[in-house]
Structure 1
Amino acid sequence: MRRRFFRARLMLTLSTLLGLSLGAAPATQAAPANEGTALPIAYHCDLAVDPLHKQVFISDYTTGSVLVADYQGRLVRTIENLPGVCDLELSADSRTLYAPLVLGDAISVIDTGTAKERARYATGAGTAPRHAALIGRTLFFGYGEQWEASIGSLALGASAPQVRLGLIPEGAFSGAPLLVSSPAAPGTLVAGDENTSPTQLSVYDVSAGSPVLRTTVNDPGGASNLSDLAITPDGKTLLTASGAPYHHPSFRLPALTEGHTYPSTSYPDAVAVSSRGDVAAGVQSIEPDPDVYLYRAGADSPYRTVSLAPATGSDAGYLRPHGLAWTPDGTRLFAISGHNDEENLRLVVIPAANEATVGQ
């Protein structure tokens, strides 16, 4: 069994956004990217796109802050005092951002319009909530460490939001489970074990409030070192990214039977799907392989590939785990890359005709 631990990164300064080039060539000939916007963070954990205010939120676990960038990738503000902030989950109307605080034993509730914390709800000493998924008016969160992990919930509809813990037996996951949900699959919560090899996926029915296990699959598609999960717009298919195998598989919900495979390369670490079905399959590649493969839904080959390496040097750029996010309309893709202990925000602009252009 292999376990993945957080790796701190150095503090950086902000540089000018230079944009991102896309390759229309075969996957082995992806065009190199420019530097993007350097992020003054130590360890990126997640990013979320707010279409209402046209901004992007980027969480930094180590410094306990969330950066806010505009749709051009320029940093505009920072939200501080969020110890161990990890997952970022937007409300359906994009007016509220929910952020589990691993080192704060709490869920932070942030107003996306003002970028200020509206409330903070304690989850209990030592719970260390890390991952989150919103279903209706309930925020489910994965919490705990070292085979004492479980799933909790925060009921948001009540006049006094209520926290519940221990919704699944401890030991079902080796650490706080990675969670994902979709408005198109109401009552369905998918959980994955990102700390074990091979990994485990489970599907729960939460329509009655408490998770009821529907399906569990160990070693789904030969997966190990799970990094990311995404659900297609119709709510029928789960996409995964894990260190192995060297492609991005899909699984039909809720049975988790294997479906279409999106070819990529070593080592898959991110996946995102737009509202129009475009799939971004990300890898921590070895140059000159591309870092991101862009697919139309169900396609066998990418319509574009992206390299995150600087224009000079090899093995110089890589995609961060859980480092991809689309705008809901599928016209912009944001990526977090790393290079020489630097982390950068990259922008890919994709017009409706799927003819990619340089980031604005």
Structure 2
Amino acid sequence: MRRRIPRARLLLTLAGLLGLSLGAAPATQAAPTEEGTVLPIAYHCDLAVDPLHQRVFISDYTTGSVLVADYQGRLTHTIKNLPGVCDLELSADSRTLYAPLALGDAISVIDTGTARQRARHTTGTGTAPFHAALSGRTLYFGYGEQWGASIGSLTLDTSTPKVRLGLIPEGDFSGAPLLATSTAAPGTLVAGDQNTSPGTLAVYDVSGRNPVLLTRVRDPGSASNFSDLAVTPDGRTLLTASGAPYHHPTFGLPGLAEGHTYASTSYPNAVAVSSRGDVAAGVDSIEPDPDVYLYRVGADSPYRTVFLAPATGYDAGYLRPRGLAWAPDGTRLFAISGHSDEDHLRLVVVPSAHRPTTG
């Protein structure tokens, strides 16, 4: 069987991870190959694509670092001393990256131009913020462990950003919930449970001071253990990836009515939608199945499929959970892949991913 990389937060201690960020160090890894760029990490949590500086940011919880690569996949910097870094949320102007630090009980604010930490906002001892999503000038973050989890916020439109905790009741989610928003619907926040089967989705109105629950659905589309969430550019549709069922369903917002289904295979673990509306549906597949299925919005068949290298037979390269991100212009797709025979991950760049072929 394929060796899985376990969730690092179950394996690590705080030793060696605490401390303030001291800036970015130049990376020394080799240039990318057709099999992708070898990364000096064995686990990742999230990735974000910065169109302003044409950079890709990759967070690694285990080493407490964020790797920085260019659009060709070449590593350029490593931002260190970010204990338990997980989600990466890019500001609307692409100048700032917000990163929850689960082992640092803080939100790190990173300058995307210099690849250095600009500020760090404490969220409180033992809060362990993992996931984040921007809605207007407020950063919402999912925090906490097990049934003590909740959602907090960091207001960004004041001279002194303010942290608020406990915006939803503890126990609504069995761990820090995944969060998703869309700039087209700034008052809508979607939350999903990563740890339960059947799964739970909730939609909140966050246009006021306190979130107002609009919809909460248990077992939506018979889905469980959500791995990834994405909202379409118009803010009207939620796409999900979960261990089951073996396809990528969609749900209307805010009511979460089941919508179109994008066919894939076992086991769905990533989803991303481009500014053009193209859907990348990723799976942790076993060869000969593809790793990524690319769809036009609402299509019944993919216009293209992607196999992640290295592919060496039954135990081929696989896609990491939440391992997909589009360049904001919708032309280039970035993927994080692994292989059971390797102790490192790879950054794979798929150029012209909006086209049916690479030619």
Structure-1-length-normalised TM-score: 0.91
Question: What is residue 346 of structure 1 aligned with on the other side?
Answer: 348
CA drift of 1:59 comes to: 0.1
Question: What is residue 25 of structure 2 aligned with on the other side?
Answer: none
CA drift of 1:351 comes to: 6.5
| 8 Å Cα contact 1:309-1:315 kept in structure 2 | no
1:212 matches 2:212: yes
CA drift of 1:161 comes to: 0.4
Question: What is residue 152 of structure 1 aligned with on the other side?
Answer: 152
Aligned pairs for 1:155-304 (under 5 A) are 155-304=155-304
C-alpha distance in 2, partners of 1:42/1:338?
Answer: 8
| 8 Å Cα contact 2:311-2:317 kept in structure 1 | no
C-alpha distance in 2, partners of 1:70/1:356?
Answer: 23
Question: What is residue 28 of structure 1 aligned with on the other side?
Answer: none
Aligned pairs for 1:79-94 (under 5 A) are 79-94=79-94
Instruction: Give the partner amino acid of 2:33.
Output: L
C-alpha distance in 2, partners of 1:311/1:252?
Answer: 36
CA drift of 1:18 comes to: 1.7
Gaps of 5+ in 1: 20-34
- Greater mean alpha carbon deviation, residues 265-274 or residues 207-216: 207-216
Q: Which runs of 4+ in 1 moved over 3 A?
A: 13-16
CA drift of 1:165 comes to: 0.3
Question: What is residue 6 of structure 1 aligned with on the other side?
Answer: 7
Cα deviation per residue 1:203-239 (whole Å; 9 max; x = unaligned)?
0000003211000000110101210000011110000
CA drift of 1:146 comes to: 1.3
1:17 matches 2:32: yes
Question: What is residue 357 of structure 1 aligned with on the other side?
Answer: 358
Question: What is residue 325 of structure 2 aligned with on the other side?
Answer: 325
Instruction: Give the partner amino acid of 2:347.
Output: L
CA drift of 1:314 comes to: 2.2
Tell me how large the CA RMSD over aligned residues is. 1.7
CA drift of 1:269 comes to: 0.1
| 8 Å Cα contact 2:270-2:321 kept in structure 1 | yes
CA drift of 1:357 comes to: 2.1
Q: 3-state DSSP class of the match of 2:185?
A: coil
| 8 Å Cα contact 1:349-1:356 kept in structure 2 | no
CA drift of 1:315 comes to: 1.7
Question: What is residue 95 of structure 1 aligned with on the other side?
Answer: 95
CA drift of 1:75 comes to: 0.4
Cα deviation per residue 1:32-80 (whole Å; 9 max; x = unaligned)?
xxx2101111320000000000000000000000000000011000000
Percent identity of equivalent pairs: 77
| 8 Å Cα contact 1:47-1:56 kept in structure 2 | yes
C-alpha distance in 2, partners of 1:5/1:36?
Answer: 23
| 8 Å Cα contact 1:189-1:206 kept in structure 2 | yes
Q: 3-state DSSP class of the match of 2:146?
A: coil
| 8 Å Cα contact 1:150-1:177 kept in structure 2 | yes
- Greater mean alpha carbon deviation, residues 87-96 or residues 304-313: 304-313
| 8 Å Cα contact 2:280-2:324 kept in structure 1 | yes
Question: What is residue 336 of structure 2 aligned with on the other side?
Answer: 336
| 8 Å Cα contact 2:31-2:75 kept in structure 1 | no
Gaps of 5+ in 2: 12-27
Question: What is residue 32 of structure 1 aligned with on the other side?
Answer: none
Greater relative contact order, per chain length (Cα 8 Å cut-off, separation 6+): 1
Instruction: Give the partner amino acid of 2:7.
Output: F
Aligned residues: 337
| 8 Å Cα contact 2:94-2:112 kept in structure 1 | yes
CA drift of 1:114 comes to: 0.4
Instruction: Give the partner amino acid of 1:231.
Output: V
CA drift of 1:15 comes to: 4.0
C-alpha distance in 1, partners of 2:110/2:315?
Answer: 37
CA drift of 1:309 comes to: 4.0
C-alpha distance in 1, partners of 2:138/2:38?
Answer: 35
C-alpha distance in 1, partners of 2:142/2:6?
Answer: 16
| 8 Å Cα contact 2:201-2:218 kept in structure 1 | yes
CA drift of 1:350 comes to: 1.5
C-alpha distance in 1, partners of 2:273/2:300?
Answer: 16
Distance change (3 Å), C-alpha of 1:176 and 1:351: closer
| 8 Å Cα contact 1:42-1:61 kept in structure 2 | no
Instruction: Give the partner amino acid of 1:129.
Output: P
1:45 matches 2:60: no
Cα deviation per residue 1:165-217 (whole Å; 9 max; x = unaligned)?
00000000000000000001120000000011111000000000321100000
| 8 Å Cα contact 1:99-1:107 kept in structure 2 | yes
C-alpha distance in 1, partners of 2:237/2:303?
Answer: 21
C-alpha distance in 2, partners of 1:272/1:342?
Answer: 23
| 8 Å Cα contact 2:134-2:181 kept in structure 1 | yes
C-alpha distance in 1, partners of 2:155/2:246?
Answer: 39
